[in-house]
Amino acid sequence: MPQAQFHEILNPYNELLKKAPFLIKIHDDSGYTVALEFIERLMETMGDNPDSPLWPLFEMVSKAVAHYEAMEYPETINELEKHCGPLPTLRILMDQYHQNLSDFPEIGNQAVVSEVLNGKRELSLEQIQKLAKRFDLPISIFID
């Protein structure tokens, strides 16, 4: 790759990181809040489409969020990660918060929640984001 072409890529990237450092690393609660808002806007823009050209950006910011949450909330994260995946996590949350099938409007009605818990339906990105926000957990906890 020629030096000029390298700098044509690198310079805008550095400018982007100056404007949005949370894309790579979150340093504090304000950066965390901005990153979560950014993820929410991304999800509104791309929907549940993993083929979207925005998907790699979503994954990059999600990793930064997950890293920050792991550093800030290690006990909660470690406990949930032992059980890995959305179904065990939902069951733990139901037990811990004394919730039933009708207590998850983020997912849908009782029938939809039941289908998710029985493995007949997967959580959408929007549902995952809402659950993570409600329970103040990393999005990664709800993704296999």
* DSSP string for 21-54: GGGT---SHHHHHHHHHHHHHHHHHHTT-TTSTT
Q: Which of 72, 103, 124 lies at the terminal end of a domain, its last residue?
A: 72
Residues 112-127 as b or e (16 or more Cβ within 10 Å = b): ebeebbeeebebebeb
Please tell me the predicted confidence (pLDDT) of residue 76.
Answer: 61
Residues 54 and 118 in one domain: no
131 membership: H or E segment, kind and range? helix 125-135
pLDDT tens string 76-119: 666 666 656 788 888 888 887 788 888 889 899 989 999 988 88
How many domains does the chain fold into?
2
Q: Which of 72, 106, 131 lies at the terminal end of a domain, its last residue?
A: 72
pLDDT tens string 34-66: 998 998 888 889 876 778 899 889 888 888 887
Instruction: Supply the pTM of this predicted model.
Output: 0.54
Angstrom distance (rounded) from CA 18 to CA 6: 19
Please tell me the predicted confidence (pLDDT) of residue 77.
Answer: 61
36 near 75, Cβ under 8 Å? Answer: no
